[in-house]
Amino acid sequence: LMWPRATPPRAWNGTGSTPHFSEIVLGRCFTYTQLLRPELGHADCGQIGKAFTNAFLSKDPCHSSEQDYQLLLKLTSQTIPCHSSVFWSKSTQLAHLYTRVRQDMFTLEDTLIGYIADGLNWCGDAGSYEMNYQSCPHWRKDCINNPVSVFWDTVSKRFAENACGEVQVVLNGSVSNTFDKNSTFGRVEIHNLHPGKVSVLKAWVMHDIGGVYRPIKFLQCVKSPEDSSCRK
Ligand code: C8R
């Protein structure tokens, strides 16, 4: 039996849970399943929200495990067509701009589970039923097996395992370690692509581009790559 306690939960070095976490999760789930991808309209957002919070509430936030997220993964299973998975590393913005224009392509954030969790922070505490809105473990300063890091490793692994056909990765050519073995892409995803299912991994190594109008041109060229003004 656990009793609510008078003392505040322990202070960590990372940002606390996102205010209104549960409401945001529920709202994003309904937005995605009712408005963005009605083919997932059968998903039970109430259950998904509960499975998400149950994965980490009343648990030590330094002993999160893949197992904790299994029910959530099951409730958010989704088939991504072959030839449409897009991975990225240190190129969040460009990769997501790319799939916003190319609606037939999917980053993890274009799937239900990634859409729900993107940009959020969450953790609980072993001695409380509540979320910790004050602080959460920082992956380097406190512990690696915190609820957020374990979550992204777990969902990224599934996203990679399920990929098929020709897949793409958007890498940042303007940073020193373009392929970072410690990133989620270099540490988790690349090792979980199934050689029998994935035929080609196409890597876009993108450099920062300067000058006015260029970014817009590039986005136009995403839609019309064969246009003469895009072929140079
Ligand atoms: N992926 C991993 N992490 C993700 C993520 C995602 O889709 N979405 C968010 N918001 N995050 P980075 P990377 C958070 O170095 O490590 C998948 C996590 O807190 O720029 O190679 C996705 O499928 C994570 O620590 O990229 C993609 O292919 C940072 O943002 C890779 O993994 C991402 O840090 C990207 O992960």
How far, in Å, is the centroid of ligand 1 from the Cα of 228?
34
26-68 pLDDT, tens digit per residue, is 999 999 999 999 999 999 999 999 999 999 999 999 999 999 9
184 in ligand 1 pocket by Cβ < 6 Å?
yes
C-beta of residue 68 within 8 angstroms of C-beta of residue 56: yes
Tell whether the model's pLDDT for residue 84 goes beyond 80. yes
Q: What is the ipTM of this complex?
A: 0.91
Tell whether the model's pLDDT for residue 225 goes beyond 70. yes
186-208 pLDDT, tens digit per residue, is 999 999 999 999 999 999 998 87
89 in ligand 1 pocket by Cβ < 6 Å?
yes
How far, in Å, is the centroid of ligand 1 from the Cα of 23?
23
The active-site residue, picked from 62, 82, 143, 230, is 82
Q: How confident is the model at residue 223 (pLDDT cuts 50, 70, 90)?
A: confident
108 in ligand 1 pocket by Cβ < 6 Å?
yes
Q: Is 143 a catalytic residue?
A: no
Average pLDDT over residues 5-25: 89
154-178 pLDDT, tens digit per residue, is 999 999 999 999 999 999 988 999 9
Judged on CB neighbours under 10 Å (0-12, 13-18, 19+), 104 is exposed
How far, in Å, is the centroid of ligand 1 from the Cα of 114?
10
Mean pLDDT, the chain, whole residue set: 93
Among 126, 151, 119, residue whose Cα is nearest residue 19: 119
pLDDT of residue 200: 97
Percentage with pLDDT > 70 across the chain: 94
Q: Kindly write down the DSSP assignment for every residue of the chain, as one continuous string.
A: -----SSPPPP-SEE-PPTTHHHHHHHHHHIIIIII-GGGTT--HHHHHHHHHHTTTTS-TTS--GGGGHHHHHHT--PPPTT-BEEEES-HHHHHHHHHHSTT-B-GGGSHHHHHHTT-----BTTBSS--SSEE--TTTT-SS-HHHHHHHHHHHHHHHH--EEEEEEEETTSS-SS-TTSHIIIIIGGGS-TTTEEEEEEEEEPP--SSSHHHHHHHHHH-TTSGGG--
Q: Is 82 a catalytic residue?
A: yes
139-148 pLDDT, tens digit per residue, is 999 999 999 9
Closest ligand 1 atom to Cα of 117? 10
Residues 159 and 200: their CA atoms lie apart, in Å, by 16
